[in-house]
Structure 1
Amino acid sequence: MSQHQTPTRRTLDILATLIAFPTVSRDSNLGLIEWVRDHLRRQGIGARLSYDATGAKANLFATIGPDLPGGIVFSGHTDVVPVDGQDWSSDPFKARIADGRLYGRGACDMKGFLAAVLACVDRLAAAELQRPVHLAFTYDEEVGCKGVRTLLADLQAARISPAACIVGEPTDMQVVTAHKGSRNYRCCVRGKEAHASRTQDGVNAIEYAARLIGHIQDLADQYAEAPRRNSAFDTPYDTLQTALVNGGLARNIVPRDCEFIFGYRYLPDSDPDRIVGSVQDYARDHILPRMRRKFAAADILFEKQSDNPALRPGPNAAIARFVMGLSGAGCAGPHVSYMTEGGLYQQAGVASVICGPGSIEQAHRPDEYVELGQLARCEAMIAALGEHAAEFQTDTETTGEAR
């Protein structure tokens, strides 16, 4: 553990408050967002909110320091995954400290980071910052990074252009410069109903969907058998899986419809269109002809449900060096297979790295926790990064050419 052993009482109190808001993705996060807005307002800091289509969820974006282009964003999501069916030792929405850990839903993913950021606001506001420090708190990251898209569109419309972003997902305070991308699709297979005693008159959608699901598994096996050599990823290949299947009406009816959800995580240098194209080609060339020999109107349709880009390591070199120099991380951590909002920030032209307190192994589990020493290290990093933000230069500024 670093020399920073214990977080401030301010961080612990704020984290307990944030955990007490049950911001499960299916529910509103407005209570938490409005509390943060008021917390900042009391310190003389204004915030802009951007809402989802229902008005029940919102992002918050605030700026500390001068009204100038550039600056560094501390970004995190406010939503958490459900606790339904999980065996918790205590109330998941009441923070509990024991054995050097703070327990509660969202403690590491990722309200611990948000609390550390908010605890440093007064210190940053009192400093004579030469470049702005921005706070970005989003909704619905856990269900497809929905909120950050609204936030980025709002920033573009307002001509706010940060230079770099630290996404505080749990990394054990290592600096992560790359992660996989993620896509998910719904596949709808349409066959022909018939009485179960006359299967020859129907086209069984479930059975043909099963053939396509089997092909998806075959592709997954092929990728796993050919991992990328010298890859920094913990899982050095693209992965696919089928997650949900639904079809049929009754046991005595040949099912007309079957739909399933499949997705994949892909390496930054993979082509995500090629992966889904392989599935679609197999459906068109091998499954549909067999179905249409029996029923000309049979069909297979694909609908993209989510598309979250990978975080590529190259464009993040300058901000990675800067964060490592001030955080004491020393060297970059491994590339990770889980997905964050960092890929979308990078896609919007904001160089991004992932660095936050806690371990991804604790995320989404019962008795989720963050170590107090990790929170203390995070506090120190945020204060140092904010106070030295004016020293950060992008690779373009340093070399005169983009990387």
Structure 2
Amino acid sequence: MIDETKAILGDLIAFPTVSADSNLELIAYAADRLAHCGARISMSRDETGHKANIFATLGPEEDGGIVLSGHSDVVPVEGQDWTGDPFAMSEADGKLYGRGACDMKGFIAAALAMAPRYAELDLKRPVHFAFTYDEEVGCLGARKLVEELKAMDMRPSVAIIGEPTDMRIIEGHKGCYEYTTQFTGLAGHASGPDRGVNAVEYAVRYISRMMALQDELKKRAPAGSRFDPPWSTLQVGLMEGGQARNVIPSHCCVDWEMRPVVTGDADFVKAHLREYCEDVLLPAMRAVSADADIVTHVIGEVEGLEPADDNEARRIVSELTGANGADVVAFGTEAGLFQALGMSAVVCGPGSIAQAHKPDEYVSIEQMEACLDMLQKLSGKLTS
């Protein structure tokens, strides 16, 4: 089966599904393979029509199914020094190379390879295949998919998200909240700074307030937190503004994120920043220009995966892999969205997160075989 899975992975890598581009060809490919197995298929597109999710089901039409989930999009390769073509899979030294090999087309390939085997079984429990778009830019596809699942009569109960974890069971991760804050000031000559509103300066003051809140978040770390670091984090990724040294900049843009351990920390940060803007920054800006403004756009707010004492997904994957424990990680996934729908969820998939987003990304054949072994053993959970 590993040879078939490698062939499928090669096909998937050949689709250059960078988040900025369409994933429709990959989704059509997956839909065709699943349709040949007799799966019931539902597809949905985003507003542009260039992105799509697929949700496919084998087995009885009833509640309690098991979801195998993966995102189809990958991060860009521009500016990275690849040894070969990132969208043509290559094999060397027991490793399969290509953009998305571990993050996370390896798991999707294994799931698609197993679909015909599941179709041959007398399934007592449904198995669902959920492949989404735009996870890398805010879990946009999964959010749409979860909303559609809410409207379905059939409600799955378990989700296995195959992000690269070295086949370790991950039962918890922080949320990932991403924002862009835009500052609109008033341009002018640098010789008269009081007659303008310097958008960059106000953005710097905003960032300084964020850094003070970052220190406050460290004090709010929950007792016994298993995360590393144990507190919620704030981070500024990009700041753009200004034209020249002698021009008061009228616009500035700040891209930032936070990764809350608990939702309350996110509420704490947003409330304090909103208050700071309304009570301090905006009055000062509008004292010079009534049109001055600060607007924050939500790029994505993805719930964290909260460890649960009673977790059927953890129990099932533990039995399949033989793992005795489960870990937590700092990076985010779509798992929290499934959990918020009322499903038990874990993250477990082939490859290492240390390889994700890097040049010469790879997944080892050994990891792929371990993933296939888990999915083959899942057959017993679907037929009993």
Q: TM-score, normalised by structure 1?
A: 0.90
Of 308, 315, 320, 1:321 maps to 315
Q: What stretches of structure 2 of length at least 5 have no aligned partner?
A: none
1:355 aligns with 2:348: yes
1:105 aligns to what SS in structure 2?
A: coil
1:244 aligns with 2:234: no
Aligned to 1:98: 92
1:37 aligns with 2:11: no
Of 361, 369, 375, 1:376 maps to 369
Farther off after superposition, 358-367 or 195-204: 195-204
Whether the 8 Å CA contact 1:316–1:352 is kept in 2: the answer is no
Whether the 8 Å CA contact 2:235–2:257 is kept in 1: the answer is yes
C-alpha displacement of 1:166: 0.3
Distance across 1 between alignment mates of 2:229 and 2:368: 28
1:344 aligns with 2:365: no
C-alpha displacement of 1:193: 2.6
Q: Give the residue type in structure 2 aligned to 1:152.
A: V
2:172 aligns to what SS in structure 1?
A: coil
Aligned to 1:64: 58
Aligned to 2:206: 212
1:346 aligns to what SS in structure 2?
A: helix
C-alpha displacement of 1:238: 0.9
Q: Give the residue type in structure 2 aligned to 1:311.
A: L
Q: Give the residue type in structure 2 aligned to 1:157.
A: A
Closer, same or farther: CA 56–300 of 1 in aligned 2, 3 Å: closer
Whether the 8 Å CA contact 1:268–1:311 is kept in 2: the answer is no
Whether the 8 Å CA contact 2:150–2:341 is kept in 1: the answer is no
Distance across 2 between alignment mates of 1:360 and 1:111: 13
Q: What value does the CA root-mean-square deviation take over the aligned residues?
A: 2.0
1:349 aligns to what SS in structure 2?
A: coil
Whether the 8 Å CA contact 1:311–1:346 is kept in 2: the answer is yes
Distance across 2 between alignment mates of 1:276 and 1:296: 24
Q: What stretches of structure 1 of length at least 5 have no aligned partner?
A: 1-6, 392-403
User: In the comparison of the two structures, how many residue pairs are matched?
Assistant: 384
1:189 aligns to what SS in structure 2?
A: strand
Distance across 1 between alignment mates of 2:232 and 2:74: 26
Question: Sequence identity, in percent?
Answer: 47
Closer, same or farther: CA 289–43 of 1 in aligned 2, 3 Å: closer
1:23 aligns with 2:17: yes
1:159 aligns with 2:153: yes
Q: Deviations over 1:117-168 (max 9, x none)?
A: 1111121111111111111111111111111122223333332311110000
1:167-186 alignment runs, 5 A limit: 167-186=161-180
Q: Give the residue type in structure 2 aligned to 1:219.
A: L
Q: Deviations over 1:218-266 (max 9, x none)?
A: 3224434775553221221111111222223444332222221221111
C-alpha displacement of 1:293: 4.4
1:197 aligns to what SS in structure 2?
A: coil
Q: Give the residue type in structure 2 aligned to 1:248.
A: G
Whether the 8 Å CA contact 2:69–2:131 is kept in 1: the answer is yes
Farther off after superposition, 382-391 or 305-314: 382-391
Q: Give the residue type in structure 2 aligned to 1:308.
A: V
Whether the 8 Å CA contact 2:140–2:300 is kept in 1: the answer is no
Closer, same or farther: CA 211–236 of 1 in aligned 2, 3 Å: same
Of 191, 200, 210, 1:197 maps to 191
Farther off after superposition, 364-373 or 308-317: 308-317
Aligned to 1:389: 382
Distance across 2 between alignment mates of 1:62 and 1:315: 30
C-alpha displacement of 1:390: 5.7
Closer, same or farther: CA 295–27 of 1 in aligned 2, 3 Å: closer
Whether the 8 Å CA contact 2:5–2:113 is kept in 1: the answer is yes
